[in-house]
């Protein structure tokens, strides 16, 4: 995972949109690394797509892995990621990648895991800004009482993803 925070104007952003059981997913990549996976109507999705270039072929492996995930045949993605955000956000997102398939943890537990036990609210905010939904499994974080809490893609999608993983894990 690279530590770069912004996209330079000269870096072409490649994109494709693919169907999925949770609706259309838009993938973005820069220099071969996935930098975004956004759901239709997702909070915190990019507001501008100026300069994005459609290139379906650039995402064949990622799309194959997404298809396998939604079919219950893949538990951990193996794609090159470049998560762009603040150092704290990247720390949270790295923590998300360590949550096992089919399991959930609370925002407080994630804060503990990344060494910031009192920062559970900040962890929640960073979780909500995850730029690579599904692959970086922010859906696996729930409220301390076990309820779903929030999800940038909507609670119906979060429930679907958690149910998919629980059913396949059994």
State the catalytic residue, choosing from 138, 141, 142, 161.
138
Q: What is the mean pLDDT of residues 4-11?
A: 53
Q: Is residue 35 part of a domain?
A: no
Residue bearing the bigger pLDDT, 43 or 39: 39
Indicate the helix (H) or strand (E) that contains 38.
strand 33-39
* CATH number of domain containing 164: 1.10.10.10
pLDDT of residue 77: 98
Res 2: pLDDT: 44
Decide if 16 is inside a domain. Answer: no
Residue 148 is among the residues annotated as catalytic for this protein? no
Range of the domain at 112: 87-169
50 domain residue, yes or no: no
Number of H helices and E strands in the chain, helices first, is: 5, 6
Question: Is 65 inside any structural domain?
Answer: no
Is residue 75 situated within a structural domain?
Answer: no
**pLDDT recorded at residue 9:** 56
Model confidence band, residue 153 (pLDDT cutoffs 50, 70, 90): confident
pLDDT at 124: 93
pLDDT for residue 5 = 39
Distance, in Å, from the CA atom of 170 to the CA atom of 165, rounded to the nearest integer, reads: 9
Residue 44's pLDDT band, with cuts at 50, 70 and 90, is confident
Q: Is residue 114 part of a domain?
A: yes
- Whole-prediction pTM: 0.89
Domain tally for the chain? 1
pLDDT: is 154 or 46 the higher one?
Answer: 154
């Amino acid at each position: 995972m690279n530590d770069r925070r912004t996209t330079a104007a000269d870096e072409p952003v490649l994109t494709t949109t693919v169907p999925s059981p949770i609706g259309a997913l838009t993938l973005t990549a820069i220099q071969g690394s996935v930098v975004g996976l956004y759901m239709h109507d997702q909070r915190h999705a990019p507001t501008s797509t100026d300069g994005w270039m459609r290139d379906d072929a650039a995402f064949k492996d990622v799309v194959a892995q997404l298809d396998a995930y939604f079919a219950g045949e893949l538990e951990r993605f193996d794609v090159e990621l470049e998560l762009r955000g603040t150092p704290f956000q990247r720390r949270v997102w790295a923590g998300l990648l360590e949550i096992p398939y089919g399991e959930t943890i609370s925002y407080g537990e994630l804060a503990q895991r990344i060494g910031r036990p009192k920062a559970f609210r900040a962890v929640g905010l960073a979780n909500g800004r995850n730029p690579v939904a599904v692959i970086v499994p922010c859906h696996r974080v729930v409220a301390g009482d076990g309820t779903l809490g929030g999800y940038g893609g909507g609670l119906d999608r979060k429930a679907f993803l958690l149910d998919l993983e629980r059913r396949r894990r059994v």
